[in-house]
Structure 1
Amino acid sequence: MRTLAFDGRMGASGDMILGSLLAAGADRSVLSVVEEALDVRYNVGVAEKNGIAATNVRVLVDGSEEGDDHTHNDGDAHGHTHDGDDAHDHHHHGDDSHDHTHDDSDAHGHHRHGDDSHDHDHGEETPAEGHGPHRSYADVVELVESMDLPSGVESDAKAVFRILGEAEASVHGTEIDETHFHEVGADDAIADVVGACLLVSDLGVERVVTTPVAAGGGETTMSHGTYPVPAPAVVEVAERADWAMKGGPVEAELLTPTGAAILAHFAESVDSLPPLTVDSSGYGAGGWEFPDHPNVLRALVGDGSGRLARDEITVLETNVDDATPELLGGLQESLTEAGARDVTVLPATMKKSRPGHLVKVVVRPEDAERVAHRLAVETGTLGIREHGAGHRWVAAREFRTATLDIDGDAHDVAVKVASDETGEAYDYSPEYDDALAVARETGLPVREVMRRAESAVRD
C-alpha cells in the first residue's frame, strides 16, 4: 500500500507540511487553484537547516514579488525565513492584538518572524500573515466550497477546519457555529490547509502515518496571557488525533494548531517509521534555528508492509419501539443508498419493558448528516446519537468466480476474497445465494457447493 510517513520529532506547522510534501514529490502546480481563489502566492525556496537542505514555503500577498525563490538560505545574513504557521497559527485563538514573542538571544534557538522589522530582507515581498478578512467557521467552510476543489480534497479541507473549529470552541467554551477564527481564518492559513490537502491528494497515497509529534517546551505568550507549551488549542487538537504528542526536545513551540489539525485528520499513529520501500522523501523547513536540532519535518513516500486498511468512520444509533419488521428489513437498502457502510438492527428492551430495536449505522463522517436524516425519515425516530469520528480496520475485498464442474455441467459461484494491504488473501466466503441455486439444480447440499467453490478459488 502506498504510504506517506511523517517524522514528527521536531514538530509540525502548516508551512512545514507544505514544504515536506513538495520535497517528497507532490506537484506544485496543483496549488494554483488556491492562488486563484485567494489573493496569495506560494513562494517555494530552499533553506539550510543544520546542513540539511529543506524546502521552505512562504505564503505571500499576490504580486509582492514574481517567481519562486530557489536560493533563499536561512543561515545567511538575509535569511529571515517567514514560517507562516509558527508566526501566526499557534495563537489563532487570540485576538488581533496578539503578541507572540521570542528572545532572539535565547540559547535554545532563534525564531525568524516575518514582522515589519525584517521586511527589508525580502525586498518587495509581503507575507500574507493575517491578510484577508478574519472569518467565522461557517465563512471558512463557504470559502472552501467555493474553490471548485476535487470532492475528496474539499472533504479533507473541511474536515481539518472542523477539527480546528471544535478545538477553538472548546478553548473558549462556545459552540462551533459561533466560533470566529482569527489568524486561522486569514488567507495564509487557509492556503496552508487547502494546499496541504491538495498535495496529499496529488501524491496518491492510500495511508498516512506519523511518529509521535514533538510539541516543544517552555512557555508561549499570547493575548490571553502566558501559557506552557503546547498552547491550549494544540492540546485540544491532540485530543482528537490518533497519534501521540510528546514534549521537547527543545524549549520552543514546535507544534502549531494548523499543523496539528492537518496531521489529526490525515495521519494514524506509529511508534516508529514502518517498513517502507521508499520512492521519494524530503524535508519541510520550519522557522526556528537550533544549534543541535534541525527544525525540519521529514516526509517519506513508498510502499508499506501488509496490514488491514484504515477506514475513517462514525457510528449513528437510535432506539425504535414501533417499527415493523418490514420497515427494519428495508433499512439495509435505504440507508446504504444514503451512504451507510454497515447497518445492524439489534433487539432491545425499551421503557416499561416494551420490546424494541437498536439500530446502529456505520458511516463515513462526511456522510453522517445525510444518513441520519434518512434514518429519521424512515423510522420516525425523534433522536439519533453519534459516537464521534473513529476508524475501523478493513480488509481489501474482491469477488472471484468459481466455476464448478458437476456431472459434466459448469456452474458459477461468486466467492468474496478478503486480503490485507499486500494482497495476501486470508478469507474466502462463497455467496450463499449462488451456492443455494447450484444446490437446488444439482441436488448437492449447499454446504458441499460452498466447500467446492472455496477450494476452487483457493487453488
Structure 2
Amino acid sequence: MTGPLLYVDCFSGIAGDMMLGALLELGVPRDDLEGALRRIDLPAWRLVTERVQRMTLAGTAVRFEAVDHDHHHHDHDHDHDHEPVEHHVHHHGLSPADIDARIRAAALPPPVEARATAIFAALAEAEARVHGTTVAEVHFHEVGAIDSILDIVGVAYGLWKLGIDRVESAPPPISRGFVRTAHGRMPLPTPATLDLLRGVPLTPCALPRELVTPTGAAILRVSADRYGDFPAMVASAIGWGAGRADLADRPNLLRLVLGHADATAPDCHVVEANIDDMSPELAGWLMEALFAAG
C-alpha cells in the first residue's frame, strides 16, 4: 500500500457532519467541496462552518442551512433526534431510489458517486431490515434526507480529494439510553446503527446520549478497512470535527489522522528458550556474541 492512510479516532462517536468538519481541517478545499455538492439537484442551501471549542480543544463544526429561511436543515449532532426515517407507502419524503438518482445525475467523480451511493444503500438496507420492510418502502423525511445527502456526498468527496487509499478506525463507542425517533423512543444504540455495525468491534460507553448516528455507522460500514488501535503510520495532518453538543465526560470531537503506513516500522519478535544443560560461564560469552551479531 502506497497511498494515504486515514485513521478515524472516534472516541466521542461519529456523525456525518463531524466527519465532514474534520476532512475540511485536513485540507479539503471548501470551494471545491461546495462546487461538487451544488451539482446535486437539491433546494438552495448554504454551508456554514465554525471553529468551536469542546473542553478546551478546537475543532470545526459544520451545518447546512436553507437559503430561503423557511426552515433550517436538521443539524446532525450529538444532541439531536434520531435521523428521521419513515416507512409508509404514502409519504412526503425521499426514497432511496430518489436519492440514488440525484447523486448519479450530479456528474460527480466516479469514486465519489460509488462511495456515496454505497453508503446510502447500506443505510436504507439497515432501516429496512430492522423495521421488517423493503428498501422500496423506506423513505427519509425531506429535510433530514437533504442534510444526509450533503453530509454523505461531502464525506465521499473529501476522501477522494485527499486521495485516501485506506481507512482504519478505532472501535466506535456504543452508549446506552433512549433517543426520540419518528417511531417513538428507541434504545441506544438505535436498531439501524447497531445493524450497520454488525461484525465491528465496539467499545461500551456509559454516557446516555447517541454518539454514533446511523449516517456515521454507514460511513464506517462502507469505508473502514480495519478496526483497532492506531496503525504503524507517519502522521502528516490531523483534523478535528466538532459535534454540536457539549458532552459531560469527553470533548465532543472526531479526530482524523492522515498519513502513510510506516513501512520501516520494525516487527518485534521475542525468542525465548530454557537452557538447563550448559555451563553458566558460557552465557556471558553467548550474550556478547549475540549482541555483536545484531
Quick one: higher RCO (CA 8 Å, sep 6+), 1 or 2?
A: 2
- Could you give the per-residue CA deviations for residues 238-281 of structure 1, whole angstroms, max 9, x where no partner exists? 12xx6323331522111100111011111123321112211100
TM-fit CA distance, 1:27: 1.8
**What is the match of residue 165 of structure 2?**
206
* Secondary structure class of the residue paired with 1:273: coil
Asked if 1:245 is matched to 2:202, the reply is: yes
Aligned partner of 2:141 in structure 1 is: 182
1:275-294 equivalences under 5 Å are 275-294=232-251
Equivalent residue number for residue 153 of structure 2: 194
2:58 paired with 1:53:
yes
For residue 30 of structure 1, what is the aligned residue in structure 2? 32
**Aligned to 1:40, which of 21, 42, 45?**
45
- For 2:83, the equivalent position in structure 1 comes to 91
Structure 2 residue runs without a partner (length 5+): 266-294
Residue 374 of structure 1 corresponds to: none
Deviates more, 1:154-163 or 1:167-176: 167-176
Unaligned residue ranges in structure 1 (runs of 5+)? 65-81, 97-132, 307-420, 423-459
Q: Is the Cα contact below 8 Å between 2:178 and 2:186 reproduced in 1?
A: yes
How does 1:279-358 map onto structure 2 within 5 Å? 279-306=236-263
SS in 1 for 2:197: helix
3-state SS, counterpart of residue 226 of structure 1 = strand
Is the CA contact 1:13–1:258 (under 8 Å) kept in the aligned structure 2? yes
Superposed CA offset, 1:199-240 (max 9, x none): 11011111001010113222213242322210111011112x
**When the two structures are superposed, what TM-score results if normalisation uses the length of structure 2?**
0.79
Are the counterparts in 1 of residues 79 and 209 from structure 2 also a CA contact under 8 Å?
A: no
**CA separation of 1:88 and 1:218: change in aligned 2, threshold 3 A:** closer
Which letter does structure 1 place at the counterpart of 2:127? E
In the alignment, does 2:102 pair up with 1:143? yes
Report if aligned partners of 1:85, 1:189 keep a CA contact under 8 Å in 2: no
Match for residue 4 of structure 1?
A: 6
Larger Rg belongs to = 1
Give the conservation status (yes or no) of the 8 Å contact 1:5–1:300: yes
Equivalent residue of 1:205, what SS?
coil
CA deviation vs aligned residue, 1:289-330 (integer Å, no higher than 9, x gap) = 124300000000001134xxxxxxxxxxxxxxxxxxxxxxxx
Matched-pair contact (CA < 8 Å) for 1:184–1:258: no
- AA partner of residue 85 (structure 2): H
State the Cα distance separating 1:88 from its structure 2 match: 5.8
Residue 43 to residue 192, structure 1, CA distance change in 2 (3 Å): same
- Matched to 2:59, the amino acid is A
Contact 1:83/1:286 (<8 A) preserved:
no
Larger strand proportion, structure 1 or 2? 1
- Measured in 1, the distance between the counterparts of 2:164 and 2:102 equals 26
Deviation of 1:94 (Å): 4.7
**How many residues end up aligned between the 2 structures?**
253
The answer to whether residue 223 in structure 2 is matched with residue 220 in structure 1 is no
What amino acid does structure 2 have at the position aligned with 1:6? V
How far 1:62 moved relative to its partner?
3.1
CA distance in 2, matches of 1:295, 1:85: 10
Residues 90 and 255 of structure 1 are in contact (CA less than 8 Å); yes or no, is this contact kept in structure 2? no
Aligned residue in 2 for 1:154: 113
Per the alignment, do residues 86 and 295 of structure 1 end up closer, same or farther by CA in structure 2, a change over 3 Å counting? closer
1:163–1:61 Cα change, 3 Å: same
The residue that corresponds to 2:227 in the other structure is 270
Contact 2:15 2:216 in 1 (8 A): yes
Q: What is the Cα-based RMSD across aligned positions, in Å?
A: 2.4
1:134-159 Cα deviation digits (max 9, x unpaired): 20011010010111100111011110
Secondary structure class of the residue paired with 1:234: helix
Measured in 1, the distance between the counterparts of 2:54 and 2:163 equals: 28
CA-to-partner distance for each residue in 1:61-120, whole Å, 9 max, x for gaps?
A: 1366xxxxxxxxxxxxxxxxx842546673333589xxxxxxxxxxxxxxxxxxxxxxxx
CA contact (8 A) 1:230 1:253 kept: yes
- Residue 256 of structure 1 corresponds to which residue in structure 2? 213
TM-score (norm 1): 0.52
* Inter-partner Cα distance in structure 1 for 2:85 and 2:94: 12
Percent of aligned positions that are identical: 36
From the superposition, tell whether residues 183 and 14 of structure 1 become closer, same or farther in structure 2 (CA, over 3 Å): farther
Contact 1:30–1:202 (Cα < 8 Å) also in 2: no
